[in-house]
Amino acid sequence: MLKRYAKRLMKWSVIILGGYYLLTTLIFGDESLNERTGVYNYQWSGLDALFNQEDFAFNVNHIAPANLNGIDGPYIVADQKYTVNAKSELITETMLRDQSFVVEVGNADQDQFNVQLQSAYSTETDHYALPAKILAISDIEGNFDAFHSFLIANKVIDKNYDWIFGDGHLVLNGDFVDRGNQVTAVLWLIYSLEEKAKRHGGKVHFILGNHEIMNMYGNVTHAERRYIGIAQRLSGEKHWEQAGKWLYSDKSEIGRWLRSKNVAEKIGGYIFVHGGLRSEHQQAQLQIADINRIARQFYGLSPDNYPNTPTEKLVLGSYHSPYWDRSLSMSFLLRATFLAYDPLNAEIHQPDQEEVEKILHHFGAEKIVIGHSVVSDVRIDYAGKVIKIDVKHGQAKNLASTQGLFIEHGKEFLVNAQGLRQSFQSQ
């Protein structure tokens, strides 16, 4: 009897769930999109499109639309400046290199600032003496409001976008692109601050993260559609990956500038890197300069085209790369995820204290500062040897959840976009 009831329950559960899926699909639609090419395997708009002034259609092998969606840019290619206005119209102008231009943010406050193009882009140095003060933040992901208010609260810039941090160093530890809808404004703000910092004896360090690397080779799976749309229009390519690759290629001003950046830098006794460093890097006798040299050789190239030498894999591979590595933040959930997606090759080892000490000794460093893996608050780990600064920043200005790291005369503090400065000992 019980067995018969169980079968009936299972049968009706399947019927109800299947019916619910079919009904909701019929009404609200469904789609399967290849996010590399931008082509729908199929797309069904749903019946509700008839009542919502939306396109009603069923498509197969159809390129997904990518609308511009308001203020964006500028994008500069040679002597052409491309800007998207509030009506989502693409405006093309000719400009001289010595002309300054205005960047409109398109946020609620309608922020804007001036930018002057740099005369040239030299490969960044990757070793620096320790300055009196360092401010570091990671993983802004196109969130202009959080970034802007964080810089003001920590006295890096004033409301006129002037540099007021003196000879301090600002370290941006990767992933300032993707997910957000103000990516271009964030990049131009960083760009403009570089020259301003230099004039005061300061320095801006832009360490590339996995998302900057992805954008350079055209992986737009985490980009807002507006950036795919502008990439298509400027490149003439409909294929999402090919268009995205063009946007940050060496043809564009931003693309050329990004190629001058490093994936790891050592400042005093601190190594700043987006993901992390591993024992394998130490065992292969790689130095910071080697890591940057190898990474730079492949900027703009898809991983599908990477060579297979063991040393290159340690710099470029999805587990070992300094901009992909998560070993210093390995958790049960992360292990389970890696094993589920890649059961044969997943790297799930978490180094112990001794391993971390050996890695740091090899690189001649005392501590490593990483982003990439989200923590609830900026924190220290591994007996103070690892500092984790990737947090879920606030989505508006002046929020306490937007956090970073401040180092002054060798002392470390958690800071936020409300002006808090708190030593880790008092947490």
Query: Which tens digit of pLDDT belongs to each residue from 225-271?
Result: 999 999 999 999 999 999 999 999 999 999 999 999 999 999 999 99
In this structure, are 234 and 319 located in the same domain?
yes
In this structure, are 106 and 178 located in the same domain?
no
In this structure, are 112 and 143 located in the same domain?
no
The predicted structure's pLDDT at residue 60? 82
Q: Is the peptide bond before 307 cis (omega within 30 degrees of 0)?
A: no
Percent of the chain with pLDDT over 90: 76
Asked if residue 336 is part of any domain, the answer here is yes
In this structure, are 108 and 228 located in the same domain?
no
Query: Which tens digit of pLDDT belongs to each residue from 312-337?
Result: 999 999 899 999 999 999 988 888 98
Asked if residue 121 is part of any domain, the answer here is no
In this structure, are 287 and 404 located in the same domain?
yes
In this structure, are 90 and 221 located in the same domain?
no
Asked if residue 303 is part of any domain, the answer here is yes
In this structure, are 132 and 193 located in the same domain?
yes
pLDDT-based confidence at 59, cuts 50/70/90? confident
Domain count across the chain: 3
Asked if residue 67 is part of any domain, the answer here is no
User: Rounded to whole angstroms, what are the CA distances from 339 to 71, 304, 332, 352?
Assistant: 42, 22, 11, 21
Query: Which tens digit of pLDDT belongs to each residue from 268-320?
Result: 999 999 999 999 999 999 999 999 999 999 999 988 877 779 999 999 998 99
Q: What is the pTM of this model?
A: 0.91
SS (H, E, C) 415-427: EECCCCEEEHHHC
Query: Which tens digit of pLDDT belongs to each residue from 396-421?
Result: 999 999 999 999 998 999 999 999 99
Q: Which residue range forms the structural domain that includes residue 33?
A: 2-62
Q: Which candidate, 31, 29, 34, places its Cα nearest to that of 238?
A: 34
- C-alpha 247/C-alpha 216 separation (Å) is 8
| Burial (CB count <10 Å: 0-12, 13-18, 19+), residue 268 | middle
- C-alpha 211/C-alpha 203 separation (Å) is 23
The predicted structure's pLDDT at residue 54? 67
Amino acid at 78: A
The predicted structure's pLDDT at residue 32? 83
Of residues 293 and 338, the one with the higher pLDDT is 293
The predicted structure's pLDDT at residue 64? 82
pLDDT-based confidence at 48, cuts 50/70/90? confident
Query: CATH code at 392?
Result: 3.60.21.10
In this structure, are 31 and 108 located in the same domain?
no
Asked if residue 122 is part of any domain, the answer here is no
The mean pLDDT value for 143-163 works out to 98
Asked if residue 54 is part of any domain, the answer here is yes
Asked if residue 95 is part of any domain, the answer here is yes
The mean pLDDT value for 84-106 works out to 95
In this structure, are 223 and 189 located in the same domain?
yes
In this structure, are 256 and 377 located in the same domain?
yes
Rounded to the nearest integer, the mean pLDDT of the chain is 93
In this structure, are 103 and 220 located in the same domain?
no
181: alpha, beta or left? (left if phi > 0; alpha if psi -120 to 50): alpha
Q: Are 114 and 100 contacting, i.e. CB atoms less than 8 angstroms apart?
A: yes
pLDDT-based confidence at 2, cuts 50/70/90? low
The predicted structure's pLDDT at residue 1? 62
Asked if residue 215 is part of any domain, the answer here is yes
User: Rounded to whole angstroms, what are the CA distances from 190 to 15, 53, 195, 258, 342?
Assistant: 55, 40, 10, 11, 36
In this structure, are 85 and 156 located in the same domain?
no
Q: Are 173 and 136 contacting, i.e. CB atoms less than 8 angstroms apart?
A: yes
